[in-house]
């Protein structure tokens, strides 16, 4: 090892060609500007096929981004895995699918689907849901209930009715005297069910009460629920309160004994907690009141180490030969830090979807607890504390590879609050400034990049041609910058992506990358 490497992920900070809606350009970022003016840097691809997604129309996300950053390879991911398994029929031939269908046919019970209703292709895709409902009818299921989590984050902020209408129209083509499929409940993804990293179990509790117990405000249909809440609360889809569909004063789709339940999100982070609530007999995070005896499955197994959930429909990518494995092999000690919202990304996703460490002796993980407030109310988040931790790790002289994630550009970007996102990007720049300055006293290589864009693309046109807040990720490239006071690295010309980062790090360390890795950029 020549010298330590400090690796910084500016989550959600991409490079846009447009001025309008670009909070990164709008922000005062003297350090980022200096780095791009004075250091070797290129733009790299962080979406679509470069990170294993089906097409270049698919936005990247933090999970697939950190997988690619940490393993130096391109694996088929989430949507692509599920697409392939539906197209070749393997999903419907799986033992889990057969078990789920047999259960509801033999007991004349209900098949439930819980998940994010959109075609954002980040957590889920409505096409997967429709394919499973259609197949369930073919195989003899008679009753289906869908518990719809509304997006407005990976798709336009107020597009929920588009997906509700699509689903309702599809169900109308299936429903007859032998088959009854309906929407049973729902709510915004940032209000109900889809918490992650155990940051707010109350969201999951509300989801349990809404989907399983059928408790909450009732509406005759999802369209009326959404339209009513929009008028009353003036919030975008992701923040809509929970609702229950009722008929004659009773919920139409509570989850009961002998039912089958499928969580149809393919991305794991926001599906794990509800999976734990269903699967864990010793669950104690909240009072579930009533725990129906059901068969439960996820679209994928969301945590392969902890086996969450026990049953799943599609095998996740089995990622081998990660950068962490290479560094451990050569005795290089690592330190990883972020706040709660992105802690799993610099640990679990970075290490190839493994909860544990590659080496207890050579890996240290440090989590800074996130504040439980809307991100646009504190757009600086925990950037200062994360920087403190990185500086402590550098000054300790203990680590050869230090990595961190500043979540600001992504998490605040998802709120759609442009002014807050500007502050978020500026907060990250302040952290970078402290790290750059530290090179005056300590000899290390600083690498700065991002996992995908978001803050760089904050506005979009609606159907009327008017600009409105955009809360989704962008399709823009991200920066890759190397600062080393002793070496002026020359970056190659080429079409590189996130998977080229690990080989580049290995080259800087003077290590031989595994043959299965992508090309180094130097």
| Per-residue pLDDT band at 78 (split at 50, 70, 90) | confident
- Average model confidence (pLDDT) for the chain? 95
pLDDT for position 255: 98
pLDDT for position 463: 67
* pTM, full prediction: 0.77
Helix H or strand E encompassing 392:
helix 383-396
Rounded Cα gap, residues 129 and 112, in angstroms: 11
Residue 213's alpha-carbon distances to 115, 133, 219, in angstroms, are 17, 22, 16
Residue 354 has pLDDT above 90, yes or no: no
pLDDT in tens, 238-277: 999 999 999 999 999 999 999 999 999 998 889 999 999 9
Helix H or strand E encompassing 334:
strand 334-339
Average pLDDT, integer, range 496-515: 97
CB 102 within 8 A of CB 139: no
62 belongs to the catalytic site: yes
pLDDT for position 461: 81
Residue 494: Cβ within 10 Å count = 11
Residue 317 has pLDDT above 90, yes or no: no
Rounded Cα gap, residues 252 and 170, in angstroms: 19
pLDDT for position 338: 98
Helix H or strand E encompassing 83:
helix 78-87
If DSSP states are collapsed to H, E and C, what string results for 399-436?
CCEEEEEECHHHHCHHHCCHHHHHHHHHHHHHHHHHHH
CB 480 within 8 A of CB 449: yes
| Per-residue pLDDT band at 426 (split at 50, 70, 90) | very high
Share of the chain above pLDDT 70, in %: 99
DSSP string, 459-470: EEE-TTS-EEE-
Q: Domains of the chain by range and CATH?
A: 5-77+319-509 (3.40.720.10), 79-314 (3.40.1450.10)
Residue 305 has pLDDT above 80, yes or no: no
My answer on whether omega of the bond before 309 falls inside 30° of 0, hence cis, is: yes
| Per-residue pLDDT band at 339 (split at 50, 70, 90) | very high
Average pLDDT, integer, range 284-299: 98
Residue 333 has pLDDT above 60, yes or no: yes
**Active-site residue, selected from the candidate residues 16, 55, 62, 338:** 62
Angle, helices 222-233 vs 160-174, to 10°: value is: 170
If DSSP states are collapsed to H, E and C, what string results for 104-162?
HHHHCCCEEEEEEECCCCCCCCHHHHHHHHHHHHHCCCCEEEEEEEECCCCCCCCCHHH
CB 319 within 8 A of CB 75: yes
pLDDT in tens, 152-163: 999 999 999 999
Residue 304's alpha-carbon distances to 205, 313, 315, in angstroms, are 24, 13, 10
Residue 232's alpha-carbon distances to 13, 68, 139, 240, 516, in angstroms, are 34, 42, 42, 10, 54
Task: Report the range of poorest mean pLDDT among 53-62, 142-151, 279-288.
Answer: 53-62
| Per-residue pLDDT band at 320 (split at 50, 70, 90) | very high
Q: What distance, in Å, lies between the first and last C-alpha atoms of the chain? A: 17
Q: Which of 108, 45, 39, 411 is nearest to 259 (CA)?
A: 108
SS3 of residue 39 by DSSP: coil
Helix H or strand E encompassing 168:
helix 160-174
Rounded Cα gap, residues 207 and 215, in angstroms: 10
Average pLDDT, integer, range 172-183: 98
Helix H or strand E encompassing 336:
strand 334-339
| Per-residue pLDDT band at 17 (split at 50, 70, 90) | very high
Average pLDDT, integer, range 403-409: 98
Share of the chain above pLDDT 90, in %: 89
SS3 of residue 515 by DSSP: coil
> Both tokens of residue 74?
């391109």
Tell the residue number behind the tokens 């629920």, with chain if given. Answer: 225
């Amino acid at each position: 090892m020549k010298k330590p490497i400090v690796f910084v992920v500016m989550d959600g900070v991409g490079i846009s060609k447009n001025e309008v809606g670009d909070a990164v350009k709008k922000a005062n970022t003297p350090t980022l500007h200096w780095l791009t003016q004075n250091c070797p840097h290129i733009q790299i691809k962080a979406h679509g096929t470069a990170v294993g997604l089906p097409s270049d129309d698919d936005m990247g996300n933090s999970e697939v981004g950190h997988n690619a950053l940490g393993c130096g390879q391109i694996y088929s991911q989430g949507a692509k895995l599920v697409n392939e398994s539906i197209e070749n029929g393997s999903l419907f031939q799986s033992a889990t699918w057969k078990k789920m269908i047999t259960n509801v046919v033999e007991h004349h019970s209900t098949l439930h689907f819980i998940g994010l209703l959109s075609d954002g292709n980040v957590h889920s895709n409505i096409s997967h849901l429709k394919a499973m409902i259609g197949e369930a009818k073919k195989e003899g299921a008679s009753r289906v209930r869908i518990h719809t989590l509304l997006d407005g984050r990976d798709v336009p902020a107020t597009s929920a009715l588009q997906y509700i209408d699509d689903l309702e129209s599809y169900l109308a083509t299936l429903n007859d005297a032998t088959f009854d499929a309906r929407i049973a409940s729902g709510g915004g993804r940032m209000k109900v069910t889809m918490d992650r990293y155990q940051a707010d179990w109350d969201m999951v509790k509300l989801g349990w009460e809404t989907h399983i117990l059928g408790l909450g405000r009732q509406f005759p249909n999802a369209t009326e629920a959404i339209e009513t809440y929009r008028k009353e609360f003036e919030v975008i889809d992701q923040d809509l309160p929970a609702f229950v569909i009722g008929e004659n004063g009773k919920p139409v789709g509570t989850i009961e004994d002998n039912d089958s339940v499928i969580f149809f999100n393919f991305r794991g982070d926001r599906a794990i907690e509800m999976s734990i609530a269903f699967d864990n007999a010793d669950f104690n995070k909240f009072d579930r009141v009533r725990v129906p005896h059901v068969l439960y499955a996820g679209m994928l197994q969301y945590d392969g180490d902890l086996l969450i959930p026990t049953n799943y429909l599609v095998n996740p990518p089995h990622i081998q030969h990660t950068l962490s494995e290479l560094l451990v092999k050569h005795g290089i000690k690592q330190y990883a830090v972020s706040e709660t919202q992105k802690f799993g990304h610099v640990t679990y996703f970075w290490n190839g979807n493994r909860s544990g460490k590659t080496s207890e002796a050579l890996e240290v993980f440090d989590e800074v607890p996130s504040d439980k407030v809307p991100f646009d109310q504190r757009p600086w988040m925990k950037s200062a504390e994360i920087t403190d931790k990185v500086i402590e790790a550098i000054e300790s002289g203990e680590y050869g590879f230090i990595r961190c994630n500043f979540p600001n550009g992504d998490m605040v970007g998802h709120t759609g609050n442009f002014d807050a996102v500007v502050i978020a990007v500026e907060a990250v720049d302040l952290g970078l400034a402290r790290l750059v300055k530290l090179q005056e006293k300590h000899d290390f290589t600083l690498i700065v990049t991002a996992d995908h864009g978001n803050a760089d693309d904050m506005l979009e046109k609606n159907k009327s041609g008017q600009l409105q807040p955009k809360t989704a990720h962008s399709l823009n490239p991200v920066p890759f910058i190397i600062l080393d006071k002793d070496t002026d690295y020359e970056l190659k010309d080429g079409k590189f992506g996130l998977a080229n980062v690990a080989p580049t790090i290995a080259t800087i360390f003077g290590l031989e990358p595994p043959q299965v890795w992508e090309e180094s950029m130097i």
